[in-house]
Structure 1
Amino acid sequence: MSLPDVIPASRTAGEWWPPVMLDPVWITANAGLFDLMHVHFGFESFSVGHLTSCVEALASVGRPLVFTVHDLQNPQLFDQTRHEQHLDVLIAGATVVTTLTTGAAREISQRWGREAVVIRHPHLLDFNSVSAESVPDPGERSTAVVGMHLGDIRAGTDARRATMNLVGAVRMLRAGGLDVQAEVHVSTRVRDEAARDAVAQACREAEGVTMFEHPRLSDDELVRALAALDANVLPYRHGTHSGWLELCYDLGVPVVAPSIGHWLDQHDEPGAVVGFDPGSVGSLAAALSQTLRHPQTMSRRAVRAERRAQRWAHRGVIATAHAEVYRTALTAVGSADVTSSGVRRRDRDMPDHQKLRPPVTGNTAPET
């Protein structure tokens, strides 16, 4: 159980805001409301000094910090200097560090000397409202369709090179007899207009590659667009983990990803994620050929149904892992007994305003 997010009075509809709870004054004033603080995202807008003060405030009131490392490289930024300084503070100051893959855990160990607990990413598809049968299935069509989504071309998206690689790979595959078409999707509002224009020109001049420019898709539109693909190419120049990849996995869509970061560690079952060298058109062509010429043995709907069952069962594993992390963190501060659910037992003589509450969980980033 988590405390509800504190909403600033100045917030406007649709606006993201930094987590109000990640503040030394708030921590000190509200220490009686929570047992521990669990940070995921939202700290990038704060100074290094502010985060240091938060770590010190938590220590002063005896509340442990759990930090989940999603991004060893921030996909929103070109210059990683400040992000790495933030990681220095939070990884060093955390009572327990967690991350999403074994590869990221190894990197954390090598760079910071901390052993991170690996807890896999949960499902992103809303299985309560989306069934295996309710989204499109590519079926037995003669033309394979490959998709690549550039979004608003944030810093971690290598729009120009990724598009040129895809254009070259499609040319090679078609020359080799594979009937394939590619779709490049770009938001109508982008951060890099020059890159968008270069992508548009490359697609206009290419055979079998079309650019689609449109507003940001709704969740339902995105699910239907991804589900109709035979493969999805990730266009990233740097990063660590991908929520986009997780959604494709839920939908049964094979992902072709650059062999950097830790995307290939997110799912290791054959065909789920295939890597390529982002500096080589031939490598991308080979990865797409492997994916498209050797499709899944089950139908897409059967794959989705199987993964739904797998992911649903994994929810319990994730919950148990977090409970153990919380027990470890609370025990480490050494100030109270801990229940099997990972929450400290209340002292019967403790005044209500001092009784400890569920963990505070940092809010999510505006974009995955």
Structure 2
Amino acid sequence: MASVPANHVYVRHLSPEDGPGPIRLPDPDPDGRAAASQRWWPPVMLQPSWADSHEFDVFHLHFGFDARSEADLRELVATLKRRRKPLVFTIHDLRNPHHADRAAHDRHLDVLVPAADALITLTRGAADEIQRRWGRTAHVLPHPHVVPLDVMRRAATMRNVRRSGSRARQFRVGLHVKSLRAAMDPQPLVPVLLDAIRDLPDAVLQVNGHHDVLHPDGARYDAGLASMLREHADQGRIDLRVHDYLGDDELWAYLASLDVSVLPYRFGTHSGWLEACRDLGTAVIAPSCGYYADQAPVLDYGHDEHHLDADSLAAAVQEAYDGRVAPGPSVEQRRRQRTELASAHARIYQSLIDGAR
């Protein structure tokens, strides 16, 4: 089958952990080599010529279509219809987190959602919106684990050791500004978070960001944000860490070191970051926009394109500090969920293949 893209962690974790699963074609390299390794964007499989010249049973689209024009997608859909190749579309984003304006993404969805032979999304709230906007029913299948199961197990052991220790430890609130997607608005959150932790013993606000946003020579330098963070760091009010892109092992270690991660989004739909935190036992404070609170048990606060509810953010920090958070999933729960997701997807694929015949 053609999964677009095949090498995304979400897609990889839809296959059974052990045993047979769908045979996914490797992501073609954009430079024309046989298959992509690290560089597979934009997905070549979205080219109508690729869909017309390769053999597969099902075309399952996840990500990458924002790199194609509306006309390209119409041609792709027409090619799949002509070849009687079923189109499955998992709608991760009803609002693209990289786009300040939603118009282009909406036009893409207006092509893909009506054309799909089966729709999947991650939450009931997103499915309800799909029903309202297009009159289509989507299967609701939850997000699989993001962190490898063996890493999850080690992180759980280390967290239990820390909790059982007699030595006092810091309570770390993490705010990650990384490379500032359009959906992120972290600057107004910083003073609220500093006020929230001021009277909490051993509480620390840790802010991580990439050089391209926080260094003057960065491609996406944000002078206002960088200046504010440097000022707070110089005064010892925040633990500021500036670095480049973190590899997986570094990212898992960083997230596991936090007690709670605050998502600074003002719009969006779902979040893989949220799932990675849960895998590692790190609590999540998520905004009221999108369907983050539908995705998993999180602490929430009011935040969208129009307002920030400072009181609810402070209250969420207090709840996290007091330990009033739902426990993250265990390794066995994630393993069972992965098996169930693999079976659910297999049923959808088979029903479409049978129908195409």
Instruction: Normalising by structure 1, report the TM-score.
Output: 0.80
Does 2:305 align with 1:276? Answer: no
- Taking the aligned partners of 1:41 and 1:107, their CA distance within structure 2 comes to 19
Does 2:234 align with 1:212? Answer: no
Give the superposition deviation at 1:132. 2.9
SS in 2 for 1:232: strand
Aligned with 1:48 (options 53, 65, 70): 70
Give the corresponding residue for 1:24: 48
Aligned with 1:311 (options 327, 334, 338): 334
Give the corresponding residue for 1:197: 226
SS in 1 for 2:153: coil
Instruction: List aligned pairs for 1:245-324, cutoff 5 A.
Output: 245-268=274-297, 273-278=298-303, 279-295=308-324, 307-324=330-347
Q: How many percent of aligned residue pairs carry the same amino acid?
A: 38
Give the superposition deviation at 1:38. 0.2
SS in 2 for 1:131: helix
Question: Structure 2 vs 1, CA of residues 255 and 235 (structure 1 numbering), >3 Å: closer, same or farther?
Answer: same
Instruction: List aligned pairs for 1:1-368, cutoff 5 A.
Output: 1-9=23-31, 14-30=38-54, 33-128=55-150, 131-132=153-154, 136-137=158-159, 138-139=162-163, 141-163=168-190, 167-175=191-199, 177-190=200-213, 191-201=220-230, 203-204=232-233, 208-268=237-297, 273-278=298-303, 279-295=308-324, 307-331=330-354, 334-336=355-357
Runs of 4+ in 1 over 6 A off after TM superposition: none
Give the superposition deviation at 1:231. 0.8
- Taking the aligned partners of 1:144 and 1:319, their CA distance within structure 2 comes to 37
Question: Structure 2 vs 1, CA of residues 335 and 233 (structure 1 numbering), >3 Å: closer, same or farther?
Answer: closer
- Taking the aligned partners of 2:293 and 2:276, their CA distance within structure 1 comes to 15
Structure 1 contact 232–254 (Cα < 8 Å) conserved: yes
After superposition, the C-alpha distances for 1:126-179 in whole angstroms (9 at most, x for unaligned) are 11455335874353535311111111112111132233xxx323324424x544
Q: Which has the higher contact order (CA 8 A, sep 6+)?
A: 1
Give the superposition deviation at 1:294. 2.7
- Taking the aligned partners of 1:234 and 1:53, their CA distance within structure 2 comes to 37
Alignment-mate amino acid for residue 302 of structure 2:
D
Give the superposition deviation at 1:307. 1.3
Alignment-mate amino acid for residue 80 of structure 2:
L
Give the superposition deviation at 1:228. 1.4
Alignment-mate amino acid for residue 301 of structure 2:
F
Structure 1 contact 185–211 (Cα < 8 Å) conserved: yes
Give the superposition deviation at 1:85. 0.5
Alignment-mate amino acid for residue 70 of structure 1:
H
SS in 2 for 1:260: coil
Number of residue equivalences: 318
Taking only aligned residues, the RMSD between alpha carbons, in angstroms, comes to 2.3
Structure 1 contact 230–253 (Cα < 8 Å) conserved: yes
- Taking the aligned partners of 2:254 and 2:151, their CA distance within structure 1 comes to 17
Give the greater-gyration-radius structure (CA).
1
Give the superposition deviation at 1:296. 5.8
SS in 2 for 1:182: strand
Structure 1 contact 180–208 (Cα < 8 Å) conserved: no
